[in-house]
Structure formats: structure tokens, C-alpha cells
Structure 1
């Protein structure tokens, strides 16, 4: 016998769903200028960054190495001036949407970057990536793992790949709101740099 839901009847919740959220956090960035015949100059500043939350917990905690070493990778949504266009591209990729952005945010095998190098934000340094699989009711980040930027090999023996499944409507709502915000930031940045 097959259970059938009549029109208008509430569907039972899907087990094992995670909730995607985000929060502002910060990290310390140190930039060093190497100078010939003089002491190198270093400057340190706090950089605000949007961090993914999975069921209210930082996603980077799930990527922590067994020896306690934290995941230094992060989203492309932070206040460094060259990141907002890449932020929009990375968010659109999480909805499986192609966009006009030229910033590479996915690998040639179709896997999408979730967290990127904390210094340059470039895939070539490697990234935490996943296959984004969209169904009628869910979105999966399938086989989340570190991916090498040069060879595109997936996985790190110390951190096992895992999958997260989200309810599609709230997931898309979260990502769409972030796209709107970061698109506006990108446009503001372009306007401020093009004004003489």
C-alpha cells in the first residue's frame, strides 16, 4: 500500500534536513610588503566575513582537521574590495544559476566552491567544494570535501567527505537574499570607483 497525500494536506517533514544560515564574523588578515635592503612592512587588520551556519553552527567547524587545526577557508562574502563580484558568482553557483560573472567559482568537474582560500579567494589554491544537486523539494551539497586547485582531486584523508541536505524553499530564499545584497554592494563599489 502506498501513502498518498491529498491536495492541500501537509507533507511530512523530510528526515535529516539541515538548515542553512549565515552570520557576520571576522578574521585577522596580515599583509606583508617585501622590500629590498629594508625591513619588510606588515599591516594587520580585522576583516568582516559572512560565514555559513549549518543548524546554527559554523560550517568551518565541520571542516576542522582531526588534530584540531581549523579550516582557514571562507566564503567570498567579505569586505575586501575585490570580492563582491566573486561573491555574487559563488552564490549564483549554489543555486545552479549561470551568471555573467567571470570569476571562477566552480571546478571543471562541476563541483562548486563553498569555502575559498582566505588569502586570495582563488580556486587554484584549492577549496572546500561539493556537487550541488537540486530536486523538487531539496538541495544537497553532496560529497563535501577539500578539492585540490591544480589536479582537482577530491578529498583529504584526514577529513571524510559528507553530504548536507536542505529544504529547497528556505535554502533558495537565504541564497537569493544574499545575492540581492551582494549585487547591490558590487554595484555600489563600481559606482564609487568610476566616479572621478
Structure 2
């Protein structure tokens, strides 16, 4: 086995939630991703909608148990010394599929090898292995320090209590109420208020994003922004321009994404009538959806593109009728989302 040492680290990552066209939910998940030689391990694999076992919404005892396993302080949960590195974001069932690998000590080092996609008790490397991924040899001290830091730094939180809460500034009427219910359905806490400027600093710091309804005027927005600034909050402010809940959720998910730019699948999105430009960091599946409200205040939704693209910048011709007037395009990959307003003529 190669004597080359790979660097090991951990970084916050997000799997963006969504409300699907059939009304079903995809759950928002915050988790720690494994950073190998400066690059997220998840991006080295196939285009997976998956999260690591180090998820922020786990209870402290379960989160600690997963860390202890990776530290090899507990027996491997699967046959052959295999550990789950990424699994289904919606459940923990192995039947949905998981990325597993053998983790073992080799002297003072820790080695991850024989990566595979696994759906049963045993892995078939010939059929489901990841050729070219690993083995990775990590310095034992660096490896332990990164994982033990999670335990000494408050467990699964990594700021998730903040990242997973949104304040909706507006009236408690139909749209904010529907939006708040949908956000809670995908695992994001949401509250509605018209008195944000009077809240305590501790309360304001607990939000990762603030969304303004269309009825909130400039003076009130300025007062809210000033209150959050005075509290030392890092919340992201977004507008809710049109009453389309799936679009608004995508906009909020984009605001909550704290993943560094160089660790994302989606890098850039721009749209004009009839053309969408999307830039991706790795080969992945992309879905482009257009949302608009017509002159009779009816919501119009159109899927513009769904398919695999290579890494790079792609200019895609789309149906101009789906992006006329005031319209927005949402781009989704596995776990990430960007929103762009369609530029005028």
C-alpha cells in the first residue's frame, strides 16, 4: 500500500431540502463532510444525494457514537470491517444504499480502502466498487484530532441550530403561514413576526436567514437589518418576491448554504429569456425549473432541463415562453440549489 499520506479534515456541508411538484418533501440536512487532500470526498464519488453519519440533527449520544466508530473505538457495524461514510438523507436504512469502506489501523496511521456502494450485508467490490477512489492513508494524530474536535466543540451543532432557523418578516397570512409550514416539513425551523427589531440579541443570533415579505416597507426592513447587525448576527437577508412556495424555499435554502464555494457542485446560475447558463464543479445531474406568476396571478411552473452535465460552464437553450415576464429559474443538483431571476429583454 502506498506510503503517501493524504490530509484529513472535516467541513460543514448541506443537503438542501425541497417541496416537490407532487407535494412531497425532501428533508434539509446539515452534516460534516470528509475533506481529503483539500477536497470533499463526496465530490470524488458518483453524483450522490447522500449525507455522512455526522449529521447535525442527530442527538448528541448518537452523533458521539458515530464519531467513536470512525475513531475505531467501537467495532465496525458491517461485515469485513466496513463503515458507512455516506447514506440516504431521508433515512438510515442500508437498503436505500450507502457508500462504505474498510477503515483500519496500520501502525500509527489510519487507512480507508475498498470503497463501494452497498445495499446489503456484504459489498461486491467487483460490481459496486469505486475504482480510483483510495486507498487513503491518514496520519493518525491528524485524523484523531479532527474527529475529536467535534466532540470537544459541542457535538453535532457546528452552528446548525442557527443555520436551520429562518425568520419570516411579514403578516401571519396565507403565504407566510404556508411557507413556514413547508419549511418545518423539510426540517427547517421557521417563525413569523412583524416585531423583529424588538427581539433580544440572543434570539436574533439564532437565525440563519431572514426573509422579507413583499408588504414589508423599506423603513421596516432597515430597522430589522439594524437590529440584526447590532446583535452581531451573521444571518443572510432575502426577499420573497413572488408567492410560489417551492421557489421561496429554494431561495431560502440558497441563503442557508454555508458551504465554501470550492466545495460545491453548483457554482453559478444566470438566466435570460430562452437561455440558462449553469456552471458545475464536477459531473453531475442538474434539474432546471422555471417559476412565474402570470397576469391572472396564477403560478406557472415548467421543467426546463433534467440531465447529466460535465464539469464546466453550460449554456442551455430553453423554452422562452416559460421564462417570460417576471420569472425565476431554480437549478438543483444532489443536495444543492441556486436561484436566478430571469434578466429582462
Q: Name the TM-score, length of structure 1 as normaliser.
A: 0.65
Q: Is residue 26 from structure 1 mapped to residue 2 from structure 2 by the alignment?
A: no
The alpha-carbon deviation at position 52 of structure 1 amounts to: 1.0
Higher RCO, 1 or 2 (CA under 8 Å, sep at least 6)?
Answer: 1
Q: Give me the whole-angstrom Cα distance separating, in 2, the residues matched to 1:93 and 1:158.
A: 22
Q: Is residue 175 from structure 1 mapped to residue 147 from structure 2 by the alignment?
A: yes
The alpha-carbon deviation at position 115 of structure 1 amounts to: 1.3
Which residue of the other structure, out of 60, 71, 88, is the alignment partner of 2:64? 88
CA RMSD for the aligned pairs? 3.1
What SS does the aligned partner of 2:17 have? strand
Moved more, 19-28 or 119-128: 119-128
> How many aligned residue pairs are there?
155
The alpha-carbon deviation at position 44 of structure 1 amounts to: 5.7
Q: Give me the whole-angstrom Cα distance separating, in 2, the residues matched to 1:172 and 1:142.
A: 18
The alpha-carbon deviation at position 165 of structure 1 amounts to: 0.6
Q: Is residue 113 from structure 1 mapped to residue 84 from structure 2 by the alignment?
A: yes
Q: Give me the whole-angstrom Cα distance separating, in 2, the residues matched to 1:174 and 1:118.
A: 23
Q: Which has the larger radius of gyration?
A: 2
Structure 1 residues 179 and 127 mapped into 2: Cα distance closer, same or farther (>3 Å)?
farther
Name the structure where strand makes up a greater proportion of residues: 2
Q: Name the TM-score, length of structure 2 as normaliser.
A: 0.39
Which residue of the other structure, out of 125, 128, 132, is the alignment partner of 2:96? 125
Q: Specify every segment of 5 or more residues in structure 1 that has no aligned partner in the other structure, as ranges.
A: 1-13, 33-38, 65-69, 100-104, 190-196
Runs of 4+ in 1 over 4 A off after TM superposition: 43-46, 182-185
Q: Specify every segment of 5 or more residues in structure 2 that has no aligned partner in the other structure, as ranges.
A: 162-345
Q: Is residue 153 from structure 1 mapped to residue 134 from structure 2 by the alignment?
A: no
Q: Does the 8 Å CA contact 1:145/1:154 hold for their aligned counterparts?
A: yes
The alpha-carbon deviation at position 58 of structure 1 amounts to: 0.8
Q: Does the 8 Å CA contact 1:76/1:115 hold for their aligned counterparts?
A: yes
Structure 1 residues 31 and 109 mapped into 2: Cα distance closer, same or farther (>3 Å)?
farther
Q: Which residue of 1 aligns with 2:238?
A: none
Which deviations, in whole Å up to 9, do the C-alpha atoms of 1:96-145 show, x marking residues without a partner? 1128xxxxx72133311111212213334232111111133210012122
